[in-house]
Amino acid sequence: MRARVLALCALALALAAPVQAERVVAGLSQEAIAITTNFAGSEILVYGAVQRAAPPPGAEPLEVIVTVQGPSQPVTVRRKERRFGIWVNADASRIDAAPSFYAVSTTAPLAQALSQTEDLRHRITLDQAIRAVGTGRSDQPMFNAALIRIRGEDGTYQVNEGAVRFREQTLFDTAVRLPANLTEGDYLTRIILTRGGAVVDLHEQLIPVRKVGLERLIYNLAHERPLIYGILSLVIAIAAGWMASAVFRYMRG
């Protein structure tokens, strides 16, 4: 009897709660990514629709932001200076956590689609995704910018403004390119609806990225049985050298 009363109370509270005017329903073209010996990168298609319980509020347009974030790791950024004609490491700063991969795709420029307050709350832009806590450095933004520039050049950091296609303020889709040098782990995909710079709804989904086949075998062997891995590497190197020498002698003879 008591359980029935509690269930009825919960139902009454749910019915009394305000219905969310707009929410996102989204999907991904891939549920998981396998890294094999011939892995050359991949592409994820993010698609979805906007569900509405009422007409769109106000005149502000609805925007969509899609982010894909790889596992975060500490990283040290070094600044080089030219001294006596030689480039040397002059200074360094350690960043506590930087995503191994990060892509941001939007329907409009980020400054238009997202307010600074919401960016601080949800950590959407690259500047917010990189965490350098307690460094006490006044020039820390310079090191963060250097990391973003370096990883932007190799494709592991991406900002694709206008890459999300929005059709009739209801359907949207975009493609996110993943490079070949992916770090193994869970990749967090977020689809964010904003209006007037404020976040209206947010949908999250994890994409596992794992090594498979020979890649997995070698990785596990190197990390779990380093002695055996070292011995096998030495044996293979010796065998390869012996075979090369035998082939060379045969060609000469």
Boundaries of domain holding 101: 20-211
In terms of domains, do 203 and 221 share one?
no
**What mean pLDDT, rounded, does the chain reach?**
81
pLDDT the model gives residue 194: 93
pLDDT the model gives residue 219: 59
pLDDT the model gives residue 79: 80
pLDDT the model gives residue 218: 62
Q: How far apart are CA 250 and CA 56, in angstroms?
A: 80
Could you read off the pLDDT of 68-118 as tens digits, one per residue?
999 998 988 888 777 777 777 777 888 888 999 999 999 999 999 999 999
Question: Do the domain assignments include residue 4?
Answer: no
Q: How far apart are CA 204 and CA 120, in angstroms?
A: 18
Question: Do the domain assignments include residue 10?
Answer: no
In terms of domains, do 240 and 252 share one?
yes
In terms of domains, do 182 and 196 share one?
yes
In terms of domains, do 87 and 190 share one?
yes
In terms of domains, do 129 and 178 share one?
yes
Q: How far apart are CA 80 and CA 160, in angstroms?
A: 29
In terms of domains, do 238 and 250 share one?
yes
How far, rounded to the nearest angstrom, does the alpha carbon of residue 73 sit from its chain's CA centroid? 12
pTM: 0.74
Question: Do the domain assignments include residue 69?
Answer: yes
57 — pLDDT class (breaks 50, 70, 90):
low
Question: Do the domain assignments include residue 1?
Answer: no
pLDDT the model gives residue 8: 38
Question: Do the domain assignments include residue 237?
Answer: yes
Mean of the pLDDT values across residues 109-135? Answer: 87
- Residue 47 predicted with pLDDT over 80: yes
Kindly report the CATH number assigned to the domain that includes residue 42.
2.60.40.3880
Question: Do the domain assignments include residue 225?
Answer: yes
% of the chain beyond a pLDDT of 90: 34
In terms of domains, do 171 and 242 share one?
no
Question: Do the domain assignments include residue 163?
Answer: yes
Question: Do the domain assignments include residue 222?
Answer: yes
- Count how many domains the chain has: 2
CB 26 within 8 A of CB 50: no
- What sign has the CA pseudo-torsion 231, 234, 239, 242? negative
Q: How many residues does the chain have?
A: 253
Mean of the pLDDT values across residues 62-68? Answer: 94
